[in-house]
Amino acid sequence: MADLVKSTLGPKGMDKILQSMGRGHEVTVTNDGATILKSVYVDNPAAKVLQDISRVQDDEVGDGTTSVVVLAGELLREAEQLVGQKVHPMTIIAGFREAEAVAKTELASAAFSNAGQPDAFRQDLLNIARTTLSSKILTADKDHFAELAVDAITRLKGSGNLEAIHIIKKAGGALKDSFLDEGFILDKKIGVGQPKRISDAKVLIANTPMDTDKVKIYGARVRVDSMVKVGEIEAAEKNKMREKCQKIIDHGINCFINRQLIYNFPEEIFADAGVMSIEHADFDGIERLALVLGGEIASTFEHPGEVKLGHCKLIEETMIGEDKLIHFSGVALGEACTIVLRGASSHILEEADRSLHDALCVLSETVKEPRVLYGGGWPEMRMARAIDEAAKKTPGKKSLAMEAFARALRQLPTTIADNAGLDSADIVSTLRAAHGADPSSTRMGVDVIAGEAGDMKQLGIFESFKVKQQVLLSATEAAEMILRVDDIIRCAPRQRSG
């Protein structure tokens, strides 16, 4: 499992094509560790633990999904060699725990924060976004997308509510044509014959059937003795729908957005009343819209006072590429914004969406926990050196496990260099010497562009402290969990009672 995603680590990591075995044989092109592992069919129970930690890493901090699996895999590889040397698994676990504690302390002491200086902190965020995006498909336009992501996150004013950032994918144009729009864009069209622009909008957001004004011949069985009776039933249905529309209009609204279909007849009633109606706003869109406009989704309209309406300054139709969309500006939730992604094909857009989502998650966590670290293997080398120092003072076989932990950490910069086609042994030994000679002030890490060890501060390669800490803790816990297992037992299926 670890070797499967190992080649995707770092700025020069390769992508994988995931081909669905279901109908349609859908193809996904990605180098996102969580997406790859989520899609792989795994039979081995231990491998499922690795799958699990990558998913948790993705949910918790959004990035570092490949790193966590690679580190856990290396820890297990080292542990396997120690078990072969007759070191008991419990001794290895005890050594790993001590090494983890040393690494965690070293990581915390190495982190620094510019939270008190807005300009320096924004620069940190931009550097973190560039570092995150440099291993993704967006690497060619990482400066542009880093600006987009940081602008979107700073609009949230520290709330960390990523629901307020809406991402729309529109095929056509180039990736660098993507832009950030202040407000909310809904990927729908306005109904026929209705106002295309509304100022000071009062919006009712609903999830209710608006298609019952016709008798559906195929779905209904009506026994009547003449066609006149069928006409009367249809007229009754129409009157019922007219009353429902009137109740909706009585809320004093000028825009009605429904999750379900709106048939021609109610659309006509809304148009006559000067109310803009929008149908089929999908669930993700409508829930986000309710949040952004400050309204609630209603399904009954008997008591207008109990329904919370949404508000915005302007609703108008806008064009992106060939498509018409609806633009809401001056929304109640001021921090809301929409990122419109452009790209040549759906595969590129999907991967761009995943990459941008990772960057937004990392930035959101960094705003909450503003400490940052240098990247490019610098934290791993620093932690490995501290563990080696501690191992020299530790008696017994535990020190072997601690040295193994340090070797596993050094595998991350080794893998980054290997994936870039560089001489990893030479670069890692240079880093080791630099960190050994001046452990407190060195900023040396892997510079894959120049193909040598470089100064991470000058190169602007920064990482979030929260991401690195989560990688360390999750990988150690997963390795410990698998090490504790001495046998896999296939359980009998649960007996059905009766």
Give the best-scoring range by mean pLDDT among 150-159, 285-294, 397-406. Answer: 397-406
Mind spelling out the 3-state secondary structure of the chain? CHHHHHCCCCCCCCCEEEECCCCCCCEEEECCHHHHHHHCCCCCHHHHHHHHHHHHHHHHCCCCHHHHHHHHHHHHHHHHHHHHCCCCHHHHHHHHHHHHHHHHHHHHHHCECCCCCHHHHHHHHHHHHHHHHCCCHHHHHHHHHHHHHHHHHHHCCCCCCHHHEEEEEEEECCHHHCEEEECEEECCCCCCCCCCEEEEEEEEEECCCECCCCCCCCCCCCCCCCHHHHHHHHHHHHHHHHHHHHHHHCCCCCEEEECCCECHHHHHHHHHCCCEEECCCCHHHHHHHHHHHCCCEECCCCCHHHCCCEEEEEEEEEEECCEEEEEEEEECCCCCEEEEEEECCHHHHHHHHHHHHHHHHHHHHHHHCCCEEECCCHHHHHHHHHHHHHHHCCCCCHHHHHHHHHHHHHHHHHHHHHHCCCCHHHHHHHHHHHHHHCCCCCCEEEECCCCEEEEHHHHCCEEEHHHHHHHHHHHHHHHHHHHCCCCCCCCCCCCCCC
Position of tokens 């040396």? 444
Q: Is the pLDDT of residue 453 over 80?
A: yes
Dihedral sign, Cα of residue 464, residue 34, residue 163, residue 344: positive
Confidence of residue 219 (pLDDT cuts 50, 70, 90): low
Confidence of residue 229 (pLDDT cuts 50, 70, 90): confident
Average pLDDT over residues 284-292: 79
What integer pLDDT is reported at residue 408 of this predicted model? 93
The neighbour count for residue 313, using CB atoms within 10 Å, is 14
Interatomic CA distance for residues 351 and 212, integer angstroms: 41
What integer pLDDT is reported at residue 305 of this predicted model? 79
Q: Is the pLDDT of residue 104 over 90?
A: yes
Reported residue count of the chain is 498
Q: Is the pLDDT of residue 215 over 70?
A: no
What integer pLDDT is reported at residue 218 of this predicted model? 58
Contact 450, 430 (CB under 8 A): no
Average pLDDT over residues 179-183: 85
**Where on the phi/psi map is residue 376: left (φ > 0), alpha (ψ -120 to 50), or beta?**
left
What integer pLDDT is reported at residue 332 of this predicted model? 79
Enumerate the β-bridge partners of residue 320.
Answer: 323
Interatomic CA distance for residues 179 and 354, integer angstroms: 16
**Which has the higher per-residue pLDDT, 2 or 212?**
2
Read off the pLDDT of residues 35-80 as tens digits, 9 standing for 90 and up.
888 888 888 888 888 888 888 888 888 788 888 989 999 999 999 9
Confidence of residue 283 (pLDDT cuts 50, 70, 90): low
The neighbour count for residue 389, using CB atoms within 10 Å, is 15
Interatomic CA distance for residues 47 and 488, integer angstroms: 12
Closest by CA to 299, choosing from 307, 311, 291, is 307
Contact 455, 443 (CB under 8 A): yes
**Which has the higher per-residue pLDDT, 145 or 486?**
145
Average pLDDT over residues 347-358: 88
Confidence of residue 216 (pLDDT cuts 50, 70, 90): low
What integer pLDDT is reported at residue 103 of this predicted model? 93
For 335-361, b where at least 16 C-beta lie within 10 A, e where not — what string? Answer: bbbbbbbbbeeebbbbbbbbbbbbbbb
